Structure 1
């Protein structure tokens, strides 16, 4: 006689809470990426997530706090992908590493950061809450770069200079190419960046060796 299948295990209250929060955050990310920050209203988030307004405000005290949580989640996902890819291919050269960085900047979820950074310029409340999140995100990106073999010869200051410069350039490139794409120039730009990075690493390494001798 076959046994009847066991009834599905009921989720705990904490599991249900985390599931609801995840749906709200994912829906906020999708909404900002698709329709922009200004159009990502509480109603739009609730419609996408299937969570009521009351349910939303049980977990987040405002639309703004939910938006900032969405930015934090995009940062977490971005860094997780980069760490995994670097671990899978530890021998990447500088050009391949820059290509990975550009790929992540062009990922649709990263649009959330573009939208929020632009909006924060004229929204003091958003700027106040987003600033520490952005600072931590950008600082961690530079720390992750320590795992790139080709950059280990740089000081922390020089590594930050290079990474932040490339980050800002790729941010601007993503925005401009949505209006005026230049695929041929973009390919050459990546080569130029790789040459510049290699030059910087070589020069700084030589200077450091001279100072030690």
Structure 2
């Protein structure tokens, strides 16, 4: 081994930049999750990331610019995590509607998909998403900056949902509202569960929602 081969390779400027940005994004996600959006100050983020204030502002002009980047990353991680968990239940590419029968042999599979949705809704990562939405409700600048990201995330959610047979089989006229009605139910459940958990209802609720989706197919799939 030559002397040059034995030395650790120095990272390029781009690699150093990406590493620093990654630390700042991870630190911001952790801070918002643990202390809330309002207390996720520049000082708090830098402390967690081990990056100076100057280091943060070399990569982001403002805290808001960092928050926008974090919002995009939270959405990306949420989608990736959900897909990794439920991809065995996705329809095949050449059969986008799957069996179209959530009330039949695929009913248990759909319950598992719903369980994964609930887990994703209750995850610390999704709590960060909630914190950002709540802050945007009363912060005009934040709301304006996040609008495009939220729209893109909603589109990704919908396209991902279409890979689930029980969703793809829904009538065209209600498919989108069916996706977001179910999703928002689990989002609301997350807030209540944090202060008033009802584990006795958890499994029943999954079965109830699965039955609701199945009921919308009556007359279409011969149910």
TM-score, length basis structure 2? 0.85
Quick check: 1:163 aligned with 2:203?
no
Match of 2:220 in 1: 205
> Using the alignment, how far apart are the partners of 1:178 and 1:96 within structure 2?
22
Q: Please report the RMSD computed on the Cα atoms of aligned residues, expressed in angstroms.
A: 1.9
Stretch deviating more after TM superposition (51-60 or 152-161): 152-161
Gaps of 5+ in 2: 91-105
| Cα offsets for 1:69-94 (capped at 9, x unmatched) | 11111111111122222323447722
> Using the alignment, how far apart are the partners of 2:134 and 2:166 within structure 1?
33
| Cα offsets for 1:113-168 (capped at 9, x unmatched) | 11111111111111111121111111111100111122222255522111111111
- Measured after TM superposition, the shift of residue 179 of structure 1 is 1.0
Pairwise mapping of residues 28-39 of structure 1 onto structure 2 (< 5 A)? 28-39=28-39
Q: Determine which structure has greater relative contact order: mean sequence separation of CA pairs < 8 Å that are 6+ residues apart, divided by chain length.
A: 2
CA contact (8 A) 2:167 2:179 kept: no
Match of 2:40 in 1: 40
Gaps of 5+ in 1: none
1:152 aligned to 157, 165, 168, which one? 168
> Using the alignment, how far apart are the partners of 1:152 and 1:111 within structure 2?
28
1:136 aligned to 152, 156, 166, which one? 152
Match of 2:101 in 1: none
Distance 1:130 1:157, change over 3 A: farther
Size of the alignment, in residue pairs?
A: 205
> Using the alignment, how far apart are the partners of 2:219 and 2:170 within structure 1?
7
CA contact (8 A) 1:94 1:197 kept: no
Match of 2:77 in 1: 77
Distance 1:186 1:54, change over 3 A: same
Match of 2:62 in 1: 62
| Cα offsets for 1:171-191 (capped at 9, x unmatched) | 111111111111112322221
CA contact (8 A) 2:89 2:109 kept: no
Quick check: 1:177 aligned with 2:199?
no
